[in-house]
Copies of this chain bind each other. A is one copy, B any other.
Amino acid sequence: MTIFERTLEPSGDAADDLAALFHERGSTIRFAPGTTIAHQGETAGSVYRIRRGCVRSSMYSSEGERRILQFLQADDFLGLSDAALWLAAQEAVDTVVLDTLPRSVFEARLQFCPSLQRAVRHALATQVEAHASLFALTSQTTAVERVRLFLEDYQSSRTSTGFVSLPMGRRDIADHLGLSMETVSRAFSTLKAEGEIELKGANFFRLVQPRTTDGGYANAA
C-alpha cells in the first residue's frame, strides 16, 4: 500500500521561474554532513534551494527530543513560508550544496511576479501534502509496515534504478517515523529476512516487489 494518492500536479513553468530567480540572483553555499543550515526559532533571513544532497527538517522539543518532519532533496525549497522564524531546524544529512537568496530580495520579487506567487503556493501545498503523507504513515500501522511504507515512498520520490541510497542513519529514520532506533533496525532485518528488500551495506536498499498495487489513502470516490 502506498501512502496515498497525490493530489497535486507537477507545476512546470512556475517552479522554473522560482529556480530561475535563484540562478539569477542567488549564491551557492556548501554544508558538511551533520551541520546546521538554519536553527529552529532563528530569524528566517534567507530562502534556499537544494542543488545537491539531503536536508532533514528537525523539530526539537525543550527536552531535546527530535522529530524529523521531512527529508528534502535536490530541487526542493526551504523557507518559503511567510513565518518570521524557522519552524524547524534545517540540517545537512550528507554534503549539501544550496542556492541561497536574501529574504528581502525574494519578498520584493514576489510582490510583482504572479508566476512566483503560484510557485510559492504550490510549494507550500506540496509541503502540506508531504505532512499529510507522514500522518498517514505514522497512524495505525505496525513498525515493520511503517518502515516498508517509508522505503516505498522514499524510493518513489528519488529517480533511481537499482539500489537507492539512504544518506540518513537509522536514528534519523526512527525520529522520522516515531520509533526507536532499535525497532527500525529490527524492521530492516525483518524485511530483509522476508525477502521484501535487499540491502547493500546499511545505506543502500532495493525493494524486491517492484510495486504493491493497492492504494493506501485512496482519493478515488
Contacts and interface: CB of A to CB of B under 8 A. Distances in A.
B216 A41 contact: no
Nearest to A5: B41
Interface stretch (A23-31, A129-137, A156-164, A196-204): A129-137
A61 B136 contact: yes
B131 A128 contact: yes
Interface residues of A, number: 55
Contacts of A118: 82
A140 B85 CA distance: 24
Contacts of A209: none
A78 to B, nearest CB: 12
Given A40-B219, A111-B114, A139-B178, A125 B82 contact: yes
Query: Among A4, A69, A122, which residue has the most Cβ atoms of chain B within 10 A?
Result: A4
